[in-house]
Structure 1
Amino acid sequence: MAITSANQLELLQTAEAVAREKMIDPGLVVEAMEESLARAAKSRYGSEMDIRVHIDRKTGKATFTRVRTVVEDDELENYQAEMTVQQAKQYMADPQVGQQYIEEVPPVEMGRIAAQSAKQVILQKVREAERDRQYEEFKDRAGTIINGVVKREEYGNVIVDVGAGEAILRRNEKIGRESYRPNDRIRCYIKDVRREPRGPQIFLSRTAPEFMAELFKMEVPEIYDGIIEIKAVARDPGSRAKIAVVSYDNSIDPVGACVGMRGSRVQAVVNELQGEKIDIIPWSDDMPTFLVNALQPAEVSKVVLDEEAGKIEVVVPEEQLSLAIGRRGQNVRLASQLTGLDIDIMTEEEESARRQKEFEARTQLFMDTLDLDEFFAQLLVSEGFTNLEEVAYVDLDELLVIDGVDESTAEELQARARDYLEAQAKAALDNARELGVEDSLVEFDGLTPQMIEALAKDGIKTLEDFATCADWELAGGWTSVDGERVKDDGILEPFDVSLEEAQNMVMTARILLGWVDPAELETEEDEEGTEPSDEDATDAEAGA
């Protein structure tokens, strides 16, 4: 079939029909037709030719042209699509390198194979345009809830029709006991939208904590209006969940607003989540208070927070232990997710036994190192002394408040403590030198002999070795592995060296060695250390 023999407007009518059906720009369909006709022409005239087709957007007339580019003599490679300056003089008055000579060629006859090839090109272009449209439509909808219709199930994954395309609800994103049949309506959270070779992939979830937060936003107008904020959500999908809320209006109870009249609001969320039990908890800036709320319905006797380690110890009465832990550890696990802290739960009896053990260990330390009897050592521990450094270097008046301790006794205690510490320091330094520690590390300010010995045992024997250490290697830290916090032991962690102190020592060592220019460091700090505005500070507090 020759193009010229066909109704020229038919091309435009076809393009319009395809564009309406696929909801894409008609111009993209026309461009695909132009490309397909150009391919057909190349199969007729030769694949090395640069054949181009232009379809008039008003009349539908297709114009076939051959393009040849002027190149240098030594750069001529494809004589069908290129020509030298000398050859171009036959067609052009003053040819220049880079100019193009365009001539019209007769339209081609569209054979069966050419027509099929043209159809494939058009379909491919239409698919690409459709994928781009779907991606642009959904990329900004990640993090929202969408309603869809179940199309089919493949290997446990549910394919959902979301109107302008298909989305996938993976098996691990379904609530455990849920099952779906074709044409069932489903509500999901858009977890991610990615552009992939086979088209945009829309990943849905019903187990994400954000799904519950968005459901509450739909059911509770105060959350939608920003009067109440959801600060944290922890879920055991299909079983139980905890959600922490705070109100910015003192006249509105955040928990009551989320529960609703006779539980209507929370019940609507529970029904959507297949009966998942939800604990609504008031959020608090004070972490121990927040944790006590998070462990409800269990009662808590005492909370001890270790912010640096990200751990918290909770003491509960014996009869409350099983309630605090929950079935299969569910209650404490959800409370841990909600607060972002590792929670160690113990009974009052266990806590008392641990404190007694610590008391006995400190008592024994003072008895062995200061040559004291048990009663006197217990007096020191009772007054809050935990180590020899405190005894040796504390202000004398703090020892004089102990019953039975006069000035001479206090001075004798401090002298014994200092003598013992000095002997320990000398032994540690001698041992470090035997291990090969150099003077550059010994003379470095901030390291005690015991620290130097610990570094030497770990193979760090020079200032250069020390300067290559990472701060967490020295001070220790916590990392997340498979969603669980794992402790990284630091070389200097037994000496209570903080992460900030480790950073400062390592940077000082690098400056001394000339690895870092202090002037450049100050410039970087000035650039980064701009004062945050009140609005930024508010945002930072909200993000925390």
Structure 2
Amino acid sequence: MSSEILAVLEYMEKEKGIGRADMIAAIVNAIKTAAQKGVNSGQELKIEINPKNGHLKAWSLLKVVDSVSNPKTEIHIEKAQALAPNAQLGEILEKEIDPSMLGRIAAQTARQAVMQKLRQFEKDRIYDDFKDMVGNIVTGTVRRKERGDIYIDLGKAEAVLSNKEQVPGEEYQAGDRIRCLLLAIEATPRGPEIILSRGSPKFVRRLFELEVTEIADGTVKIEAFAREAGYRTKIAVTSTDPKVDPVGACVGARGARVKTIVRELNGEKIDIINYFPNPQQMIIEALKPAIPRDIQLDEKNHRIALKVDPENLAIAIGRKGQNARLTSRLIGWRLDIEEYKVATADPRAIAIDSLTKNLGLAREIAERLVNIGMNSPAVLESVDLEDLIEAGFSEQEAQDVLSRVNK
């Protein structure tokens, strides 16, 4: 049995990372509990396992008395002194017993208890190993796919990339290497479950922190972030150092930094812009190359209504409204985009204004004249008194109009 125990101790220490002392404590407790329920029921036992050679020793703990009422827990003083000459009444004597006396059923029960304890050790170890990695990027190997979820081997544990945390359009096969964000560790009846994500905005944010040293050291700060996984990401950045261009730092020389991130995201588009606290400045920056022509801010309802030229409308809204949604999330205001229409001149209004300005006519008289086609002083020069009276003007009104024309 010693060789079996030693083999278990060495395997668990090397392959599972479970400490030898913890394993020995678990095996001892399991054997003791199982033995006390079997043929050794009612006895107090002491069990030790040598960590070097796996040798197991067992003792029965007996109280030294002068009158034995329970032979499983007590020993007479004379027998005790025969085993240990210095034994005294009331002391606990450790009487060594043959480990095989613990019983076959005890051994089987102990084996089950040990396996249960091992599983608990593994669960605790997985949690301890990964609890401080939440929010970091991990690399693993795709093992299998079940009901849309991808199971990934991280070396020390298996993790799951659920369907909702995947990026639309991405496909992986068994054996593929994959990078993901360690999103969370959830407690389940089967133990801790490691949840991964590639669709979370935090995944892209962490990629920028790893790729852009200025973000890692705090020189450049990501102030706002919005993402539609697999399609487009928008980030707004600032710099604490006036000598550092935050957008340029994120893009990198010849776009090297952002290209690395885009490759990891399988071609997902990334827009990097300067951040402004003023939402009106921010909307102008976020919608480039589309240029808003008219911006109205509703501070109370946190809404922005803006108009863009017809040729820029599709750019501002984006495919299936994607650009507008991302811009709205980036700024934190609801966005209403309309087509900008240039106001066309009203010829009737121009004619009325001309008559009132050039002839000094009352606006009501000018409107009546325009309504019957007399829309300029030149036309009125060929009109006589009777024409105006027939058109519905009084004689006094007609005379006033003609006198102003003649002047």
Task: Give the alignment's TM-score, normalised by structure 1.
Answer: 0.54
* CA displacement at 1:58 relative to structure 2: 6.4
Residue 350 of structure 2: aligned partner: none
Letter of the aligned partner of 1:328 in structure 2? K
Residue 199 of structure 1 pairs with residue 182 of structure 2: no
Specify the SS of the correspondent of 1:143: coil
CA distance in 2, matches of 1:48, 1:340: 70
Structure with higher Rg: it is: 2
Query: What SS does the corresponding residue of 1:190 show, helix, strand or coil?
Result: strand
Corresponding residue for residue 29 of structure 1: 23
Identity %: 40
Q: SS in structure 1 opposite 2:267?
A: coil
Return the alpha-carbon distance in structure 2 between the equivalents of residues 104 and 310 of structure 1. 82
Give the structure with the higher percent helix.
Answer: 1
Give the SS at the match of 2:241: coil
Query: Counterpart of 1:151?
Result: 143
Alignment of 1:377-456 (within 5 A): none
- Following superposition, the deviation at residue 313 of structure 1 comes to 2.1
More displaced, 193-202 or 146-155?
193-202
The CA deviation string for residues 268-298 of structure 1, in whole angstroms up to 9 with x for no partner, is 1111111111111111121221122122232
Q: How many residue pairs were aligned?
A: 325
Higher relative contact order (CA 8 A, sep 6+): 2
Aligned to 1:241: 233
CA distance in structure 2 between the aligned counterparts of 1:52 and 1:180, rounded to whole angstroms: 54
Looking at structure 1, the residues matched to 274 and 208 of structure 2 have their Cα atoms a distance apart, in angstroms, of 15
Question: Structure 2 length as normaliser, TM-score?
Answer: 0.71
For residues 181 and 318 of structure 1, what CA distance do their matches in structure 2 show? 45
Residue in 1 that maps onto 2:359: none
CA distance, structure 1, for counterparts of residue 319 and residue 142 of structure 2: 34
| Cα pair distance change 1:67/1:166, threshold 3 Å | farther
User: Distance in 1 between the 2:180 and 2:93 partners?
Assistant: 56
CA distance, structure 2, for counterparts of residue 67 and residue 348 of structure 1? 97
Aligned to 1:41: 35
Q: 1:417 matched to which residue of 2?
A: none
Q: Give how far 1:308 is off.
A: 3.5
Matches within 5 A, 1:514-529: none
Matched residues in 1 for 2:169 and 2:310: separation?
35
Question: Which residue pairs with 1:62 in the alignment?
Answer: 57
**Whole-angstrom distance in 1 between the partners of 2:192 and 2:182:** 13
Distance 1:219 1:167 in 2: 25
Q: 2:254 aligns with which of 247, 262, 276?
A: 262
* Alignment root-mean-square deviation, CA: 3.2
| Aligned counterpart for 1:16 among listed residues 10, 22, 42 | 10
Inter-partner Cα distance in structure 1 for 2:182 and 2:243: 34
Give matches, 1:61-100, under 5 Å.
61-65=56-60
- Deviates most, 38-47 or 17-26: 38-47
Matched residue of 1:109: which SS? helix
d(CA) in 1 for partners of 2:145, 2:52 = 46
Deviates more, 1:266-275 or 1:111-120: 111-120
Q: Is the 8 A contact 2:20 2:51 kept in 1?
A: no
Q: Superposed, which structure 2 residues align to 1:195-234 within 5 Å?
A: 195-234=187-226
Shift of 1:208: 0.7
Distance 1:247 1:288 in 2: 20
Secondary structure of 1:62's aligned partner: strand
Equivalent pair of 1:12/1:30 in contact (CA under 8 Å): no
Residue 326 of structure 1: which of 318, 323, 331 is its match? 318
SS at match of 1:127: helix
Residues 40 and 259 of structure 1: CA distance in aligned 2, closer, same or farther (over 3 Å): same
Tell whether the 8 Å contact from 1:41 to 1:108 is kept in structure 2 after alignment. Answer: no
The alpha carbon displacement at 1:80 in A equals: 11
In the TM superposition, residue 196 of structure 1 has moved relative to its aligned partner by 3.1
CA distance in 1, matches of 2:165, 2:235: 19
Residue 93 to residue 258, structure 1, CA distance change in 2 (3 Å): same
Q: Which ranges of structure 1 fall in alignment gaps of 5 or more residues?
A: 1-5, 69-78, 84-90, 95-99, 353-374, 376-544
Cα deviation code 1:120-149 (max 9, x no counterpart) = 222221221122121111111111111111
Alignment partner of 1:257: what SS?
helix
Letter paired with 1:41: A
Contact 1:191 1:204 survives alignment (8 Å): yes
After TM superposition, the structure 1 = structure 2 runs for residues 451-470 of structure 1, keeping only pairs within 5 Å, are: none
